[in-house]
Amino acid sequence: MRAFSYERASTTEAAAKAAATKEGAKFIAGGTNLLDLMKLEIETPTHLIDVNELGLDQIEPTPEGGLRIGALVRNTDLAADERIRRDYQLLSRALLAGASGQLRNRATTAGNLLQRTRCPYFYDTNQPCNKRQPGSGCAALAGFSRQLAVVGVSDACIANHPSDMAVAMRALDAVVETVQPDGTPRSVPIADLHRLPGDTPHIEHVLERGELITAVVLPKPVGGKQIYRKVRDRASYAFALVSVGAVIQPDGTGRVAVGGIAPKPWRDEAADGELPNGAKAVTAKLLTDARPTEQNAFKLTLVERTLSAVLAEARG
């Protein structure tokens, strides 16, 4: 870990401004990902702006009938919130499928969205990794890729996004609210938040330098059966090989987002339209452009079979 300076921000605007003006600055919230990365010198911020005391830890109703979740709401609190459990079960279930109790107590809503990949080559600074060190190459392509992405990938990077929560947020059409360094707010639909790697895998989202997530807004409840199914090698405390977050209405229509297979929570509205036609049809649309490796090609079958099980469960 390199030495860094530290400040505690007092307003969101000040935080964003400081982050934009100070070279090498980063926000720190729960720190469950950032600190690990700093210890390994994968992240080397020279200045940390602590946003824990900005009062962004509330969950409030919106005039539209949805909920505004403060960026600093801890995963544990979000999963346990009565309104979330009642109206957005998918989110609560996805959160509880992630990490461990201790981590969820620390981890925040915004931090969860921006957590970085768990690709083992990203974590080993002796190895080439275009995401960590642009232009150095990708060791995962010809290496150990069983866990990694099959769709949305590029020749430069096949890292996947590890979040469970983000999969549910994507299925629920959440909107990310930010404040920009000049103090103006903006809203980014979650579908547009993460970028695909292309030949710049080190650029992972559309936020500008210094832009701070202040909240994530859920639209009004959509009802339906809400199922989050996470598939993994051990029963707890493991990242998803594949996860399926689905909202299925009584008439068989609905929406589905998939985790573990792409650099972002993976959803295709056209694939949603195939839900009444079953898992095979949905998967065919979702994975049209899949480019798996030999080691992770099983994920294509796994997505279809998991979705099939989810749809059967939804039918009751």
Q: Shortest CA distance to 307 belongs to which of 264, 249, 265, 247? A: 247
Q: Choose, by CB under 8 A, the member of 23, 63, 82, 236 that binds other proteins.
A: 236
Ramachandran angles phi, psi of 205, nearest 5°: -150, 175
Give residue 298's region: left, alpha or beta (phi > 0; psi -120 to 50). alpha
305 is a site residue for other proteins (CB under 8 A): yes
Q: Copy the structure tokens of residue 195.
A: 């970028």
Q: Which stretch binds other proteins (CB under 8 A): 58-66, 79-87, 137-145, 254-262?
A: 137-145
Q: State which residue, 120 or 273, has the beta carbon closest to other proteins.
A: 120
Phi, psi of 100 (to 5 degrees): -135, 170
- Does residue 50 bind other proteins (CB under 8 A)? no
| The one among 7, 198, 200, 298 contacting other proteins by CB under 8 A | 298
Distance in angstroms (rounded) separating the CA atoms of residues 311 and 304: 10
Q: Which stretch binds other proteins (CB under 8 A): 13-21, 191-199, 206-214, 296-304?
A: 296-304
CB of 126 to other proteins, least distance (A): 4
- The residue among 201, 132, 191, 179 whose CA lies nearest residue 27 is 179
Of 57, 58, 62, 49, which Cα lies nearest the Cα of 13? 49
Of 232, 273, 276, 285, which lies in the binding site for other proteins, with binding defined by CB under 8 A?
232
Straight-line distance from the first to the last Cα atom of the chain, in angstroms, rounded to the nearest whole number: 51
Q: What are phi and psi of 268, to 5 degrees?
A: -140, 115
Closest separation in Å from C-beta 80 to other proteins: 19
Q: Is 235 in the site for other proteins (CB under 8 A)?
A: yes
Element (H, E) at 83: helix 82-87
Residue 121 within binding range of other proteins, rule CB under 8 A: yes
Interface characters, 145-184, with other proteins (x: CB under 8 A): -xx-------------------------------------
Q: What whole-number distance in Å separates Cα of residue 59 and Cα of residue 81?
A: 8
State the minimum distance, in angstroms, from the CB of residue 237 to other proteins. Answer: 5
Among positions 213, 231, 275, 286, the unique one binding other proteins when judged by CB under 8 A: 231
CB of 9 to other proteins, least distance (A): 24
Provide the minimum distance between the beta carbon of 124 and other proteins in the complex, in angstroms, as a whole number: 7
- x/- mask, other proteins, residues 16-45, rule CB under 8 A, reads -----------------------x-x----
Give the interface segment with other proteins, choosing from 26-34, 106-114, 217-225, 298-306 (CB under 8 A).
298-306
Instruction: Convert residues 90-119 into a mask of x (bound to other proteins by CB under 8 A) and - (unbound).
Output: ----------------------------x-
| Positions in 270-289 near other proteins (CB under 8 A) | 279
Separation CA 234–CA 298 (nearest Å): 17
Buried b (16+ CB within 10 A) or exposed e, 57-83: bebeeeeeebbbbbbbbbbbbbbebee
Q: For 58, phi and psi rounded to 5 degrees? A: -110, 155
Footprint of other proteins (CB under 8 A): 1-3, 39, 41, 118, 120-121, 123-124, 126-127, 139, 142-144, 146-147, 231-239, 241-242, 279, 298, 301-302, 305-306, 308-309, 312
